[in-house]
Amino acid sequence: MTLTQKIIAAKSGNEIVKSGELVTCDVDIVLGNDITAPVAIHEFSKHGFSKVFDKEKIVLVMDHFTPNKDIASAENVKLCRQFARNFNIEHFFEIGCGKNHGIEHTLLPEEGLVTAGDFIIGADSHTCTYGALGAFSTGSGSTDMAAAMYSGKMWVKVPSAIKINMTGKPADDVCGKDIILHIIGKIGVDGALYKSLEFVGEGVSYLSMDDRFTMANMAVEAGAKNGIFETDSKTLEFLSKTGAKTPAEYKADSDDDYEKILDFDLSKIKRCVALPSLPSNVKNAEDVDLTIQQVVIGSCTNGRISDLRDAANVLKDKKVAPGVRCIIIPATQAVWKQALKEGLLEIFTDSGCIISPPTCGPCLGGHMGILAKGERAAATTNRNFVGRMGSPQSEVVLCSPITAALAALNGRIS
């Protein structure tokens, strides 16, 4: 079996599973946010469910439209807050409520809520992020979330897998975002449709955990059911620091179990951008010349402390170009605090950037960075579909924090 199939077999109580099978698995975490959880809560009530399967395994994170941007978003958070109180949900996170909070897919690993070998579903497509830790994690619908909150179970069709074999050491200015954009550019937005992308090879040893989170996060942009890395010493060190529960480590059996194997030499990958309006419309940054009006550095893809350090190294002692708005969004309060401690927030402020509280905000066209007609943004987010960040006549170019910071200084990606 592949790595993903090993986890699914364990969680479904089977000795072996094969691609295409439908199985029912025990879930370790059920995740929802302020957009998707309200739908699940309504379904939960409509079906007359009166209990949750485990108050410690349901996580509700208010992150998409928070701080609440309008009455509707405030009502959604109120509904989730009341649900959490009614069922004594232990892991309810809301901005400004006395503890760490932020964007769900950065927050959960920080809080030690996920570990290797877990089976995680979330009513958000980028739940696949936790594959960086050697977990099977995937997005689900809100109705599935409602059923899982009650039963602790989730059905899944066992995916086949594509092995992404990585060799070589990436250049100093190339990060996980560049690598995953390069891969998506090669295989397309449907190149891994309902398959597992399993990242392996000696090149993995050169990738930080933040690189891996970014790559697993964007596996869904290739249509994948999940993205996953095998557990190694870096994984175990990260899990130890977060206080996560004891990991369950799995290894794939053999190359014969993969649908295909794709080889990538990381030393040959350059800084990449995804031009409008697909994550697969990838070019080398050096081959592009586009003016921009806005830069967004943040999101569940690239809002971690290493991302802010990369951006600050570019922006230090320099000024954002006239006519450009640069928005910095630390992914969690812990990231914000660390950036303050390291002087990064001062660098950003002195360069003319604005610093936002942790939020998904502009990534999904929510708030705090909406684009007007005819505007273009360089963003470290994960999607650049038509109208993704505002007007249908605006454009988003996906890139790494380094490329985004350079664009802020130059007023263009070039």
pLDDT digits (tens, 9 = 90+) for 357-383: 999 999 999 999 999 999 999 999 999
User: Are 352 and 380 contacting, i.e. CB atoms less than 8 angstroms apart?
Assistant: no
Question: Which pair of structure tokens corresponds to residue 9?
Answer: 């077999």
Gap between the Cα atoms of 162 and 67, Å rounded: 39
Structural domains in the chain, CATH included, are: 3-264 (3.30.499.10), 273-413 (3.30.499.10)
What is residue 255's predicted lDDT score, i.e. its pLDDT? Answer: 81
Mean pLDDT of 401-411: 98
What's the distance, CA 160 to chain centroid? 22
- Predicted local confidence at residue 182, as pLDDT: 98
Summary mean pLDDT of the chain:
97
pLDDT of residue 86: 97
In the prediction, which pLDDT does 98 show?
A: 80
The whole-number pLDDT of residue 378 equals 98
- With a threshold of 0.95, does the pTM exceed it? yes
pLDDT band at 186 (very low <50, low <70, confident <90, very high): very high
* Confidence band for 254, pLDDT divided at 50, 70 and 90: confident
Instruction: Label residues 330-339 b or e (16+ Cβ within 10 Å = b).
Output: bbbbbbbebb
pLDDT at 2 over 90: yes
Q: Is the pLDDT assigned to residue 221 strictly greater than 90?
A: yes
Angle, in degrees to the nearest 10, between helices 209-217 and 305-315? 100
- Burial pattern 371-394, b for ≥16 Cβ within 10 A else e, equals beeebbbbbbbbbbeeebbbeeeb
> Which whole number is the average pLDDT over 5-26?
97
Cβ–Cβ < 8 Å for 134, 117: yes
List beta partners, residue 284: 272
- Segment 143-170 shows an average pLDDT of 97
Distance CA 117, CA 16 (A): 16
Structure confidence at residue 256 as a pLDDT band (50, 70, 90): confident
pLDDT band of residue 97 (cuts 50, 70, 90) is: confident
Percent share of the chain, pLDDT over 70: 100
* CB distance 340 to 360 below 8 Å: no
The answer to whether the beta carbons of residues 292 and 395 sit under 8 Å apart is no
pLDDT band of residue 99 (cuts 50, 70, 90) is confident
Q: What mean pLDDT comes out for the span 116-133?
A: 98
